[in-house]
């Protein structure tokens, strides 16, 4: 079982093992916010509630602009495996501005693309093809991209992972 760690300001910081969470709580570096009643921890002197969410007692400064590294898998995930040009299932990625023309390997220049559109486009720009992008490619900023392990979030974590309104 895993535990969500919240910074002192209640922003998601990390996902750790329940053992690491217990150590943080026992050393008074964190407090338990939510428990998992269904899976208690058994010790020699009895059972303890397993922490589902813990809150650090002191604020941990995080460098701003934690960049999400660009990857083929990440681009496909960001675009929900949909072609940026036709909307069909995408299995490849495409440089909007072709690399042969100086296009970068960046979140803003890479999009998910189906094999057919990728082959048709070749080393041209979408405007040269008379095509338009279905969405504006950007670096993802959602918490699930910055905090590792929240992709498979537990139900008790939902209210802490929801974007601030």
Residue 73, Cβ density class (10 Å: 0-12 exposed, 13-18 middle, ≥19 buried)? exposed
Residue 82 exposure: Cα atoms within 13 Å on the Cβ side: 10
Q: Poorest-confidence range of 37-51, 96-110, 133-147, 151-165?
A: 151-165
Note the pLDDT of residue 146: 67
Q: Which CATH number fits domain 72-129: 1.20.950.20, 1.10.30.50, 2.30.33.40, 3.90.1170.50?
A: 1.10.30.50
Note the pLDDT of residue 25: 92
* pLDDT above 90: residue 156: no
Distance (Å, whole) CA 40 – CA 31: 17
* pLDDT above 70: residue 163: no
Give the residue-averaged pLDDT of 17-39: 90
Note the pLDDT of residue 38: 80
Distance (Å, whole) CA 15 – CA 10: 14
Distance (Å, whole) CA 28 – CA 54: 11
Q: Where are the domains of the chain?
A: 2-64+142-161, 72-129
Q: Which two structure tokens, joined as six digits, stand for 127?
A: 């405007």
* pLDDT above 50: residue 103: yes
Q: Which residue has the higher pLDDT, 144 or 122?
A: 122
pLDDT tens-digit series, residues 57-90? 999 887 666 677 899 988 998 999 999 999 999 9
Contact in structure between 47 and 4 (CB atoms under 8 Å): no
pTM: 0.62
Note the pLDDT of residue 52: 92
Give the residue-averaged pLDDT of 121-129: 95
Plot region of 129 (φ>0 → left; ψ -120 to 50 → alpha; else → beta): alpha
**DSSP string of 81-125?**
TB-TTT-SB--EEEESS-GGGT--SSTTTEEEE-HHHHHHHTTS-
Note the pLDDT of residue 143: 66
């Amino acid at each position: 079982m895993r535990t969500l760690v919240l910074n002192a300001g209640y922003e998601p910081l990390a996902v750790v093992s329940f053992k690491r969470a217990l150590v943080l709580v026992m050393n008074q570096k964190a407090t338990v916010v939510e428990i998992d009643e269904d899976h208690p921890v058994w010790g020699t002197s009895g059972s303890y509630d397993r922490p589902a969410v813990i809150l650090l007692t002191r604020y941990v400064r995080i460098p701003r602009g934690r960049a999400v590294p660009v990857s083929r898998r990440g681009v496909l995930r960001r675009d929900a495996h949909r072609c940026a040009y036709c909307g069909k299932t995408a299995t490849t990625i495409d440089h909007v501005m072709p690399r042969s023309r100086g296009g970068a390997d960046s979140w803003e220049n890479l999009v998910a693309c189906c094999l057919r559109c990728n082959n048709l486009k070749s080393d041209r720009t979408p405007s040269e093809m008379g095509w338009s992008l279905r969405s504006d490619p950007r670096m993802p900023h959602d918490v699930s991209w910055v905090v590792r392990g929240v992709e498979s979030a537990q139900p008790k974590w939902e209210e802490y992972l929801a974007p601030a309104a």
